[in-house]
Amino acid sequence: MWKKNFLFRATESTPMTQSENELFHDTEPAMDSAGLTLDRFLSVWVQGDGEDDKPSAFTNVYVRTAALDVAKQVAFLQPLQGRSHQIKQMLAPGQKQFLKQWLQDYAPQAWESTEDHVRDLFEPE
């Protein structure tokens, strides 16, 4: 199985260099937001058939919101969402555009083999 994580700041169209696992690995779960200064993120997981570095098709997309207080190292990670209507609402137009272009450039053959329901997630509304 091939998988790739893209971690966006909530309002940005270009992902960060760190993955969700790298940024949130050493954080504690936050119990409430009182007194926290939270940065908001959107984590996108794309899965596909194939090997670690060679996807043959992109099969699933999951998205979750996250918030992190960098100074206190506490975070909120929401559950992964996999329903098409939720993903379309959560992704900003620039994020959709970036992801579509990245997937097309990274593995053009895999993009062509991807079913329409996955490709449609990255179309502007």
The 10s digit of each residue's pLDDT in 20-42 is 999 888 888 887 788 888 999 99
Q: Note the pLDDT of residue 53.
A: 82
Distance from C-alpha of 96 to C-alpha of 78, rounded to nearest angstrom: 20
pTM of the model: 0.91
pLDDT in tens, 55-65: 999 999 999 99
Distance from C-alpha of 87 to C-alpha of 91, rounded to nearest angstrom: 6
Which residue carries 């790739």 as its tokens?
4
Long-range contacts of 97-105 (CB under 8 A, 24+ apart): 97/13, 97/122, 97/124, 98/6, 98/13, 98/14, 98/15, 99/6, 99/44, 99/46, 102/6, 103/46, 103/58
Let me know: does 66 contact 78? Beta carbons within 8 Å.
yes
